[in-house]
Amino acid sequence: MKDNVNVGASESVNAPEDAKGKKAAMKEEEAPEPSFCEIDPKTCDVDFDAVTLAKNAKARAAAQIVARATSARNQQLAATHKSPFLGNSTTKGIIPTSASHSGQVRGYDPFDQTGVRAKHTTLMNFVKANPAYPRRPKNSSIDCYYILWTPKKWLADMHMEAYINVLRLRLSKHPKWFVSDRICFLNSMFGTVWRRDYNDFKNSEPNDDGSGKLLPPGAYSYYTGKLPIYCQTKKTWAYEVDHLYSMLHIMGDHWVAIWISFVTRHITIWDSHAGTKYASDAQIDEAVEPLTVMIPYLLQSYAPAEDKWRFPYTPFIHSRVPGTEIQNIQSGDCGVYCLKYIECHALDLPFPLQLCDKNIRQIREKMAAEIFDEIGARGHDKLDATGLDIYDRKV
Residue 64 domain-assigned? no
pLDDT in tens, 134-180: 999 998 999 999 999 999 999 999 999 999 999 999 999 999 999 99
**Residues paired with residue 260 on neighbouring β-strands, in sequence order:** 244, 267
Share above pLDDT 90 across residues of the chain, in percent, rounded to a whole number: 66
For residues 221-232, give the mean pLDDT.
97
The answer to whether 297 touches 213, Cβ cutoff 8 Å, is: yes
CB atoms within 10 A of CB 227: 25
Residue 31 domain-assigned? no
CA gap 360, 339 in Å, rounded: 13
pTM for the predicted model, two decimal places: 0.74
The answer to whether 303 touches 254, Cβ cutoff 8 Å, is: no
Nearby residues of 160 by Cβ (< 8 Å), 6 or more positions away: 187, 188, 247, 255, 335, 338, 339
Residue 324 pLDDT: 79
Residue 99 pLDDT: 37
CATH of the domain at 231: 3.40.395.10
CB atoms within 10 A of CB 240: 22
Residue 34 domain-assigned? no
Angle at 246 between CA 227 and CA 203, to 5 degrees: 75
Residue 92 domain-assigned? no
Angle at 200 between CA 53 and CA 390, to 5 degrees: 45
DSSP conformation letters of 161-229 = HHHHHHHHHHHHH-GGGSS-SSEEE--HHHHHHHHHTHHHHHHSPP-TTS---BPPTTHHHHHTT--SS
Residue 47 pLDDT: 54
Residue 132 domain-assigned? yes
Residue 171 domain-assigned? yes
Distance, CA of 250 to chain centre: 19
Residue 78 domain-assigned? no
Residue 79 domain-assigned? no
Segments forming the whole domain that contains residue 348: 110-392
Question: Cα-flanking dihedrals φ and ψ of residue 214, to 5°?
Answer: -80, 115
pLDDT in tens, 55-86: 566 555 655 555 555 544 444 443 333 443 33
Nearest alpha-carbon partner for 190 in 313, 300, 48, 290: 290
DSSP conformation letters of 208-227 = TTS---BPPTTHHHHHTT--
Nearest alpha-carbon partner for 337 in 163, 220, 187, 216: 163
Q: Which amino acid is at 233?
A: T
pLDDT in tens, 268-309: 999 999 999 999 999 999 999 999 999 999 999 999 999 999
CA gap 123, 367 in Å, rounded: 11
Domain count, the chain: 1
Nearby residues of 245 by Cβ (< 8 Å), 6 or more positions away: 167, 183, 184, 185, 186, 257, 258, 259, 260, 342, 345, 346
